[in-house]
Amino acid sequence: MRFVKLAIADRRRITMFAARGLMVCGLTAILTGCYTQREVTATIPTDYRQRHPIAIKESEHKVVIFIGSKRGGLTPIQRADVLAFVSEWKREATGGVIIDLPSGTANQRAAIETMREIRSILTSAGIPAGGIEVRPYEPADRQSLATIKLNYPKIKAQAGPCGLWPHDLGPSADPYYGENRPYWNLGCSSQRNLAAMVDNPADLVQPRGETPAYTARRSVVIDKYRKGESPATNYPSPDKGRITDIGK
């Protein structure tokens, strides 16, 4: 009888330990699931500047020169385009110039003559001859009007792409809807427009260095102040450009 009681007590202890083990496992699974949900939610930023950051990358600046098959050389407008290309290269380029020259096309001969003129303009305007590379290419459609393409690398600010909708804006069973968070695409267009409009991408990272102050006008004002005169600017004909008397 004593052994029977001991066996029953042992079974009760085993059952109790098993029940406690199951409870611990269940609580651990619940807590783990809650923690994972918080981690996933925390990875989605609420600030549009973090969802759609402006990245500074190296891109390509390109100018296309159309060349006919019966004429070699640049027109006056195309020559101005090449000079403007050189001016932009001096200001923002991070490498040399690549000239993509069409090959195996009807205007190949005219393109070669035009390329020589373009190269002479580039070197005479200040681009080193060693920094110019001619790269022949074969267009997919040889019957179309092939072009000469001038390229150089530059630093550019980019954001996007926009138009991504990973979550539905309307009511849904997605937990994201009940969290009252900004929708994913909010702010993407403004970030993309800002990146396209900025003149120097470095301005988004750090301020520019100070330049010397304009001292000509400052000297005039200080000299008038020293003499006891009014430093205000006097306009001899303030109403000369007036076209109406409204607000007078």
| Averaged pLDDT score across all residues of the chain | 82
**Are the C-beta atoms of 93 and 131 separated by less than 8 Å?**
no
Cα distance between residue 14 and residue 6, in whole Å? 12
pLDDT digits (tens, 9 = 90+) for 51-91: 899 999 999 999 999 998 888 889 999 999 999 999 999 99
Statement: residue 14 has pLDDT above 80: no
pTM: 0.60
DSSP at 52: S
What separation in angstroms does the CA of 219 have from each of 66, 141, 212, 225? 53, 65, 14, 10
pLDDT digits (tens, 9 = 90+) for 194-243: 999 998 898 998 988 888 888 888 898 999 999 999 888 877 776 776 77
pLDDT score recorded for residue 35: 44
Of residues 189 and 179, the one with the higher pLDDT is 189
Cα distance between residue 145 and residue 68, in whole Å? 7
Torsion angle of C-alpha atoms 238, 241, 245, 246, degrees rounded to 10: -100
DSSP 92-126: HBSS-EEEEEE-SSTTHHHHHHHHHHHHHHHHHTT
Of residues 146 and 150, the one with the higher pLDDT is 150
Statement: residue 5 has pLDDT above 70: no
Cα distance between residue 104 and residue 146, in whole Å? 10
pLDDT digits (tens, 9 = 90+) for 93-148: 999 999 999 998 888 999 999 999 999 999 999 999 999 999 999 988 767 778 99
pLDDT score recorded for residue 40: 42
